[in-house]
Amino acid sequence: MAEQQKPVAPATPVEPPKKLEFRLLGHNYTTPDLVAKVTGKAKYAEDYRAEGMVFIKLMPSPRPHARVISIDASAALAMPGVHGILTAKDLPAPPPPPGPAPAAAAAARPAGTPAGQPAGSPAPQAAAPGGGGAPAAPAPAAGAAPPVAAATPPPMPPEFALTDEPVYEGEPILAIAADSEELAAEAIDRIVVEFEALPFVIDPLQAMRPGSPDGRTQGNVFVGPSMKTVKWTAADMAMVDAGKFPVGAEATETLTYGDIEKGFAEADLIVERDSQQQTTSHQPLESRSAMAYWQNGKCYMHVSTQSLARTVASVAGWVGIKPEELVLISEYTGGGFGSKIPGAQSMAIPALMSKKLNGRPVMMRISRAEETYIGRVRPGYQGWVKMGFKKDGRVTAIDTFIVEAAGPYRRQGDHATSANLGSLLFQAPNMRFRGLSVATNTPPGVSQRAPGGLQASVWFEPVVHEAAKKLGIDQVAIRKLNAPEGQAQFGLNPPNTPAGRPRNKLTSCFVKECLDQGAELFGWEARKANSGKRTGSKVRGIGVGTGAYTAGSIGVDGLCILRPDGKLEIHQGIGNLGTHSVIDTARVIAEVANVPWENCEVVWGNTSLGLPWSSIQAGSQTTYAHTRANYATGNDLKKKLTEIAAKDFGGTPEQYDTNAQGVIRKGGGLRLTWAKAAERAIALGGIYDGTEVPKEINAMTKAAAAAHKGRGLMGVARDNLPRDGQTYGFMSAFAEVEVDVETGVWTIVDFVGVADVGTVIHPNSLGGQINGGSLQGIGHIRSQKLVYDPHYGAGLSTRMHHNKPPTILDVPTNAQWSAVGLPDPSNPIGAKGIGEPSTVAAAGAVLAALADAVGDGIIRRTPVQPEHIMEAIANGGKPAYEPLTAFI
């Protein structure tokens, strides 16, 4: 592993910035939470117990769409040991309908932000980058739906924890609390619910058929925050029935850049295809269990959430209380992958049940089957893509039509994000995207690791592969030729955007270096001999893909306290979801202020401990956002240390510095130990002990500072550093596969991922993100899916052995990774996020390798199952397997 962790020198450097060297950052260490994890002491939400705790069971809807007419719970509530029932009527009143501004926000949802912002929750961070095609103002919102006309239908109501109109099978109708889970289940069994069945739809394309049912009573297509009914023509549907996507059919969303007709006119080669990819469930290993109780007017909740600071407002909104009335505890979270960004609606259930029971602790254990229903999904696509190329491989135009299976609640926008990333990754000079976000009575969609990004890879990479084959161009070369670099521009605009509006641009991009280093590490040139090589029934194929995703937001806070015992407490509002960013980014403060890491204690996981405002733990934002914020905080701490030294020992602060022991006089010796400096700060008060804090920090940080003022020397700051552009992370992936053409079974023989994440801050964590993120992308290609019975609208893949997340046997046992390591110039630390670019790149590389092995005509849908390959081979190399059917 040692050599894998050392980034390989770039093969063809183009005046690259120098790598940054640090004392702590970039070196492996053990995160302080790891021993608790490996000894079983780490407590996740369902590991908490409380005196008198009762248990909840949910009644899931048996129907994909229905209206509850009546609930008779009398028999259940008469049972001894049954304590209460919670129904939709017990939930807080819906918030006022969003106005025009939220409409735009919903349409231009930043990557990685939850689609379902709850009552009372803040809008997604305005500065969040636009993986959803949503750049910061004043650039146009590339992911935005077309402007909504005046006669627009009203905005759709938000999703709630319990409902009287279930819109997917398994949606919770009510909850029962009892002495035990078994008893609660018994009680549920005795409740009689009368339903009125309502029409439903599973396959988005079937919702487009004239006269077909709509997924919601308000319509079948999400347009901004509203819905309307859109039906295609009989001719369009005849094409669908014939297995051909109707390219000329009506779309509700259009985004363009350049002149698509001109682009295709200039092309020497045009490649087009219908394509389809599946809806997949997130399946974090820890389900969204939650425990709640009330004490002294406050609601205490143990929850499983990705973010911590950014979960408070959403959960408070769902419970119907003020954020300051909520204490959230989430020290460890067993994965989320986008499905628990701000917690989950369902977390309101134990809180409200507990309130009904006068504060008695209530545990809601979510089973795996329940998690599959309520735990969110990545929207699947059906559609078409067409790309034009010059003889040298340069992309001249991209045209695509994507129908996304949005689930029942709101527009997802993954499809627009895919278009945005197509524009970015292939620097298309001319591009058009048309799309529909169709309501389906299937589990609600939400961001899943690289939302729209993974799908972009599946959409575009096989087309690029086919083009390179036809043009006789090397697969790495064609990607390098079209790849962005430096401050490259990208993005699409809604129609009628005034000419000359600025486009998105990157803060940095070294994806070409990723391709060079990956090719070297993989041995691309030598492996070309394996392309199409047949041994018995087995054929080899090699493939390469590139991935990009948002990798950083700005404007969050940091907080630390140097205590009189000489220890530095570093407070983090970041959730501990497994990426280690909650600890990794804390090290920046120690780095900047020269505090030994052994002197540092990281405080996280409990909002009553006084935590600073944070980014959401999604959209690969955290590493960038919090290395910047903690850089500012570390500098604030150091500045105060030198100021105190100057006050006490004369001279100016600039004449002082810090070393491992404390504050030194430059060219002289130690003047203040860490402990002494903390004592002096307490004596000085004011800005030094946190009595006075900067005006611009967030209210949550201010409250945290107020709680800790007077305890030591406080470093506290908001990230006010400049940024010009959008920060994206990149990766190249290389794969070799072996396909048995007599059985269709395929394996990945070898895999390499090389990332552009700016400065590497923790190599071991980065390796996990690259390989793990890659395998999540590969799982999409290999096996993961949701299957629905279209007649009953019933889920048929509620367990892991049905929906098939990848196993340890699905990986090549010697996958390698590396990182370019060149710093992003917009971050003094130089770091960017990586969680998502890996997922994108790996999927594309494996698909390309499969196409390389069996031919470009074979694969038109994911996951690529053996039977798809066999049927296509039997069909003369053309796809034969349900080309446009979803949820199979």
Partner 1 sequence: MSQDGMADAPGLQPGHSRRNFIKGVIAAGATVSASSYLFRTTIMGQNDGMAGAVERLISLDVNGQQRRVDVMKNETLAMTLRYKLGLTGTKLGCDRAECGACTVLVDDVPRYACSVLTHSVRGKKIQSIEGLASPDGTLHPVQQAVVEGQGFQCAFCMPGFVMATVGFLKTNPTPTRAQLAHGISGNLCRCADYNKILDVMMVAADKSRGA
In the complex, minimum distance from the CB of residue 198 to partner 1, in angstroms, rounded to a whole number: 10
DSSP states along 191-230: -EEEEEE----SSGGGGGSTTPPPSBTTBSEEETTEEE--
Q: Which of residues 815-834 bind partner 1 (CB under 8 A)?
A: 815
Is residue 325 within the footprint of partner 1 (CB under 8 A)? no
- Considering the complex, state which of residue 126 and residue 285 has its C-beta at the smaller distance from partner 1: 285
Q: Which of 252, 250, 214 is nearest to 233 (CA)?
A: 250
| Residues between 208 and 247 with contacts to partner 1, criterion CB under 8 A | none
CB of 369 to partner 1, least distance (A): 5
Map residues 42-71 to x or -, x wherever contact with partner 1 holds by CB under 8 A.
Answer: xxx-xx-x-------x-xx-xx-----x--
In the numeric block, which tokens belong to residue 572? 């983090």
Question: Whose Cβ is closer to partner 1: residue 182's or residue 325's?
Answer: 182
Residue in this structure with the two tokens 């084959």, named with its chain if needed:
469
> According to the binding rule CB under 8 A, does residue 41 interact with partner 1?
yes
- Provide the residue type at 596 as one letter: P
Q: If binding is defined by CB under 8 A, does position 809 make contact with partner 1?
A: yes
Binding residues among 156-185 for partner 1 as defined by CB under 8 A: 179-183, 185
Q: Of 287 and 475, which has the nearer Cβ to partner 1?
A: 287
Nearer Cβ to partner 1 (382/617):
617
- Residue 74 sits in the site that holds partner 1 (CB under 8 A): no
Strand 290-295 to strand 362-364: parallel, antiparallel, or no bridges (unpaired)? antiparallel
Q: Least distance in Å: CB of 127 to partner 1?
A: 27
> By CB under 8 A, is residue 734 in contact with partner 1?
no
Query: Stretches 23-31, 404-412, 457-465, 727-735: which one binds partner 1 (CB under 8 A)?
Result: 23-31
Radius of gyration of the chain (CA): 27
Binds partner 1 by CB under 8 A, chosen from 477, 800, 880, 888 = 800
How deeply is 281 buried, as exposed, middle or buried, from its count of CB atoms within 10 A (0-12, 13-18, 19+)? buried
Collapsing DSSP to helix, strand or coil, 82 comes out as strand
If binding is defined by CB under 8 A, does position 333 make contact with partner 1?
yes
* Only segment of 142-150, 327-335, 524-532, 560-568 that touches partner 1 (CB under 8 A): 327-335
286 is an interface residue for partner 1 by CB under 8 A? yes
- CA dihedral (672, 676, 677, 680) positive or negative: negative
Which among 17-25, 112-120, 264-272, 769-777 is the span making contact with partner 1, rule CB under 8 A?
Answer: 769-777
Binder among 192, 235, 660, 706 for partner 1 (CB under 8 A): 192
- Please report whether residue 31 would count as binding partner 1 according to CB under 8 A: yes
Minimum CB separation of residue 409 from partner 1 in Å reads 22
Judged by CB under 8 A, the chain residues 76 through 115 that form the site for partner 1 are 79
CB of 622 to partner 1, least distance (A): 14
At its nearest, how many Å lie between partner 1 and the CB of residue 508?
Answer: 26
Minimum CB distance to partner 1, residue 288 (Å): 12
By CB under 8 A, residue 40 contacts partner 1: yes
CB 145 within 8 A of CB 162: no
Nearer to partner 1, 129 or 338 (CB): 338
In the bound state with partner 1, the residue whose beta carbon lies nearer, of 261 and 789, is 789
**Binding partner 1 by CB under 8 A: which of 811, 878, 885, 888?**
811
Among the residue ranges 38-46, 104-112, 220-228, 860-868, the one whose residues contact partner 1 (CB under 8 A): 38-46
794 binds partner 1 (CB under 8 A): yes
Q: Which of 12, 39, 358, 496 binds partner 1 (CB under 8 A)?
A: 39
Taking CB under 8 A as the criterion, the residue among 396, 572, 579, 585 binding partner 1 is 579
Selected binder of partner 1 within 108, 775, 848, 864 (CB under 8 A): 775
Site stretch for partner 1 (CB under 8 A), options 125-133, 140-148, 519-527, 810-818:
810-818
| Comparison of 237 and 815: residue with beta carbon closer to partner 1 | 815
Nearer to partner 1, 121 or 311 (CB): 311
CA gap 302, 642 in Å, rounded: 41
- The encoded tokens of residue 682 equal 């307490």
Shortest distance (Å) from residue 334 CB to partner 1: 3
DSSP per-residue string spanning 515-532: HHHHHHHHTHHHHGGGTT
Q: Specify the 3-state DSSP secondary structure of 447.
A: coil
Tokens of 26: 């970039």
Q: Confirm or reject binding of residue 790 to partner 1 (CB under 8 A).
A: no
- DSSP letter at 831? B
DSSP helix/strand/coil, 424: helix
State which of positions 538-577 bind partner 1 (CB under 8 A).
Answer: 577
Applying CB under 8 A, the site for partner 1 has a residue count of 90
Among residues 349, 387, 407, the alpha carbon closest in space to that of 220 is found at 407
Nearer to partner 1, 304 or 345 (CB): 304
User: Shortest gap between Cβ of 275 and partner 1 (angstroms)?
Assistant: 24
CB of 747 to partner 1, least distance (A): 12
Under rule CB under 8 A, which residues in 617-676 are in contact with partner 1? Answer: none
Q: Which is nearer to partner 1, 688 or 751 (CB)?
A: 751
Nearest to 785 by CA among 858, 854, 865: 865
Token look-up 């059917």 returns: 885
Site for partner 1 in 590-619 (CB under 8 A): none
Burial 606-634 (b: 16+ CB within 10 A, else e): bbebbbbbbbbbbbbbbbbbbbbbbbbbb
**Is position 369 an interface residue for partner 1 (rule: CB under 8 A)?**
yes
Task: Give min distance, CB of 735 to partner 1, in A.
Answer: 14
Shortest distance, position 259 Cβ to partner 1, whole Å = 42
Determine the Cα–Cα distance for residues 165 and 69; give it in Å rounded to an integer: 9
Taking CA atoms, 798 is separated from 259, 284, 341, 532, in Å, by: 45, 13, 22, 37
Our finding on whether 771 is near partner 1 (CB under 8 A) is: yes
User: Would you tell me how many other CB atoms lie within 10 Å of the CB of residue 2?
Assistant: 6
Query: Which of 256, 279, 283, 517 touches partner 1 (CB under 8 A)?
Result: 283
Task: State the DSSP code for 130.
Answer: -
Handedness of CA 482, 487, 491, 494 (dihedral sign): negative
CA atoms within 13 A on the CB side of 60: 17
Q: Minimum distance from CB of 302 to partner 1 (Å)?
A: 12
Which one among 112, 284, 429, 566 touches partner 1, defined by CB under 8 A? 284
Shortest Å, Cβ 26 to partner 1:
14
The answer to the question of residue 250 lying near partner 1 (CB under 8 A) is no
In sequence order, the 6+-apart residues with CB closer than 8 A to the CB of 57 are: 175, 176, 178, 181, 184, 185, 187, 188
d(CA 704, CA 608): 9
CA distance 168 to 286: 22
Pick from 729, 730, 486: nearest CA to 624: 729
DSSP 614-648: ---S-TT-HHHHHHHHHHHHHHHHHHHHHHHHHHH
CB 76 within 8 A of CB 85: yes
Q: Which bin fits 881, alpha (ψ -120 to 50), beta or left (φ > 0)?
A: beta
The one among 16, 532, 596, 772 contacting partner 1 by CB under 8 A: 772
* Nearest residue (CB) to partner 1, 360 versus 804: 804
Report helix, strand or coil for 513.
Answer: helix
The residue among 195 and 597 lying less far from partner 1, judged by its C-beta, is: 195
Site membership for partner 1, residue 38 (CB under 8 A)? yes
**What single letter denotes the amino acid at residue 397?**
A
